[in-house]
């Protein structure tokens, strides 16, 4: 059934104008349904499945951590870590030594503004962003 | 701010399985969800509460699927819409939701004549038309939000609204409601 513009206006007027019908729709829109124990019934009927899965997932994580730790010590992971640490430390010391020897003869241009901007980024912007993300998720 | 609060509560439920956070969500949204079902079932309070409960349980089980692309209320109403249509489909084999037995139930419920006439007019509409009409006129959702909830394109929502209002106007005018 095609409708003319006049019909559309009449229908809109019928539903949105100031008549008994429009008032009833407005009342229905404002109606708040009392809880009357509904929430309790929903909470009592929530399945425990998710909790069981959560527990299983926790147990699985614990198992993986224990197996990982066992394998780490069984295959001498500690020695590997120590080696990496001391190797890194030696590299750093060597680099500092080279720097200390060559620094007096090397000309390095340090822009104070760049340093300042980097400091602002690290001390203000990063903590602010971290705080925002944490407060949004928790 | 309310939206941020919803997301914080959803995170509590999804990550820490915090039931008291879900309790707060149910308390906050029970009224619009139950009102939605009450309008779709033409005032059947018992059926509405059963469907609303099913909606919240589904929301709880699938809360990790909420990505925050739309507001939590829109996501919840989408679940409610799906729950209602699953129920309509399952009932079609035994009885039609639009049948007169539903209307007879409200005739004896002591509602005002106008309310009964509105339910009778809503009963004339197809389920999709009724959903669009009640979401707009009673729940106050704009067309694009109705489209998100129902998954029906904007233009189809508009034509459902137009056709629904037209049918209701004809029925209500025949029953003496005129300006």
Q: What would the 3-class secondary structure string for A67-117 be?
A: HHHHHHHHCCHHHHHHHHHHHHHHHHHHHHHHHHHHHHHCCCCCCHHHHHH
pLDDT at A137: 61
Of A13, A35, A49, which is closest to B27 when you measure between CB atoms?
A: A35
pLDDT confidence of residue B39: 86
Q: Which two tokens stand for residue A114?
A: 């760049």
**What are the phi and psi torsion angles at B88 (to 5°)?**
-60, -45
Q: What are phi and psi of B79, to 5 degrees?
A: -65, -45
Pick the closest to residue B72 from B16, B133, B7 (CA basis).
Answer: B7
Candidate from A16-20, A114-118, B78-82, B167-171 with smallest mean pLDDT: A16-20
Per residue in A69-84, pLDDT tens? Answer: 999 989 888 888 999 9
- Closest-CA residue to B81 (of B2, B151, B29): B151
pLDDT tier at B69 (50, 70, 90 boundaries)?
confident
pLDDT value for A5: 61
Nearest CA in chain B to A48: B61
Instruction: For residue A10, count CB atoms less than 10 angstroms from its CB and return exposed for 0-12, middle for 13-18, buried for 19 or more.
Output: middle
* Cβ density class B107-122: b for 16+ within 10 Å, e for less: eeeeeeeebbbbbbbb
Identify whether the C-beta of residue B168 lies closer than 8 Å to the C-beta of residue B61: no
Report the pLDDT value the prediction gives residue A18, as an integer from 0 to 100.
52
Residue B53's alpha-carbon distances to A46, B60, B76, in angstroms, are 9, 11, 12
The pLDDT score that the predictor gives to residue B108 is: 44
Of A17, A51, A136, the CB nearest to B179: A17
Lowest mean pLDDT among A18-32, A44-58, A78-92, B164-178: A18-32
Cα separation of B165 and B125, whole Å? 9
User: What single DSSP character describes residue A45?
Assistant: T
Contact: B35, A33; criterion CB under 8 Å: yes
- DSSP 8-state secondary structure symbol assigned to residue B176: T
Highest mean pLDDT among A51-55, A81-85, B109-113: A81-85
Confidence of residue B104 (pLDDT cuts 50, 70, 90): very low
With 70 as the cut, is the pLDDT of residue A14 above it?
no
pTM: 0.62
Task: Find, among B12, B44, B48, the residue nearest to B31 by Cα.
Answer: B48
pLDDT, mean of residues A95-120? 84
Nearest chain B residue to A37 by CA distance is B27
Per DSSP, A30 falls in state H
Q: What is the predicted pLDDT for the residue at A67?
A: 95
- d(C-alpha B131, C-alpha B38), whole Å: 11
Q: Is 50 exceeded by the pLDDT of residue B109?
A: no
What is the spatial distance between Cα B95 and Cα A99, in angstroms, rounded to a whole number? 87
Q: Is the pLDDT of residue B36 over 50?
A: yes
Give the integer Cα–Cα distance in Å for A7 and B87: 35
Q: What is the mean pLDDT of chain A?
A: 81
Residue B165 has its nearest CB partner, among A15, A24, A137, at A15
Taking 50 as the threshold, does the pLDDT of residue B12 lie above it? yes
| Domains by residue range for chain B, with CATH | 1-95 (1.10.1740.10), 98-179 (1.10.10.10)
Under the banding of pLDDT at 50, 70 and 90, the label for residue B100 is very low
Res B94 pLDDT > 70: no
Q: What is the pLDDT at residue A63?
A: 94
Query: Percent of chain A, pLDDT > 90?
Result: 33
**pLDDT interval class at B91 (50, 70, 90):** confident
Q: Are the beta carbons of B41 and B97 closer than 8 angstroms?
A: yes
The per-residue pLDDT of chain B, averaged, comes to: 83
Nearest CA in chain A to B63: A50
Instruction: Strands of B57-158 (E only): list them.
Output: none
Q: Is B72 helix (H, G, I), strand (E, B) or coil?
A: helix
CB atoms < 10 A from the CB of A72, how many? 13
Task: Please report which confidence band the pLDDT of residue A100 belongs to, taking 50, 70 and 90 as the band edges.
Answer: confident
A54 and chain B in contact, CB less than 8 A:
yes
Instruction: For residue B20, give the H/E element and its range.
Output: helix B19-40
Max mean pLDDT range (A121-130, B87-96, B115-124): A121-130
Residues 59-118 of A with CB under 8 A from B: none
Q: What is the pLDDT of residue B52?
A: 95
Size of interface A-B (CB pairs under 8 A): 95
């Amino acid at each position: 059934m095609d409708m003319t513009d006049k019909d559309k206006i009449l229908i809109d007027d019928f539903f949105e104008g100031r008549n008994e019908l429009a008032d009833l729709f407005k009342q229905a829109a404002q109606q708040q349904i009392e809880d009357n124990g509904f929430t309790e019934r929903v909470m009592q009927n929530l399945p425990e499945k998710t909790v069981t899965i959560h527990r299983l997932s926790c147990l699985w994580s614990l198992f993986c951590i224990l197996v990982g730790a066992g394998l780490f010590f069984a295959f001498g992971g500690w020695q590997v870590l120590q080696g990496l640490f001391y190797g890194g430390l030696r590299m750093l010391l060597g680099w500092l030594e080279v720097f200390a020897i060559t620094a007096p003869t090397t000309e390095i241009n340090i822009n104070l503004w760049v340093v300042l901007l980097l400091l602002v980024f690290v001390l203000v912007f990063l903590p602010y962003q971290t705080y925002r993300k944490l407060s949004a998720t928790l | 701010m309310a939206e941020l609060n919803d997301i914080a509560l959803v995170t509590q439920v999804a990550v820490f399985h915090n039931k008291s956070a879900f309790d707060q969500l149910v308390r906050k949204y029970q009224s619009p969800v139950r009102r939605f079902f009450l309008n779709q079932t033409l005032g059947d309070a018992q059926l509405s509460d059963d469907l609303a409960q099913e909606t919240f349980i589904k929301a709880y089980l699938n809360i990790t699927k909420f990505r925050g692309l739309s507001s939590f209320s829109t996501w919840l109403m989408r679940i409610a819409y799906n729950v209602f249509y699953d129920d309509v489909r399952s009932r079609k084999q035994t009885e039609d939701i639009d049948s007169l037995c539903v209307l007879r139930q409200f005739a004896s419920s002591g509602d005002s004549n106008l309310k009964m006439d509105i339910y009778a007019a809503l009963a004339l509409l197809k389920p999709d038309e009724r959903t669009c009409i009640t979401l707009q006129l009673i729940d106050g959702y704009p067309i694009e939000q109705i489209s998100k909830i129902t998954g029906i394109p904007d233009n189809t929502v508009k034509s459902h609204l137009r056709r629904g209002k037209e049918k209701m106007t004809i029925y209500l005018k025949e029953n003496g409601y005129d300006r």
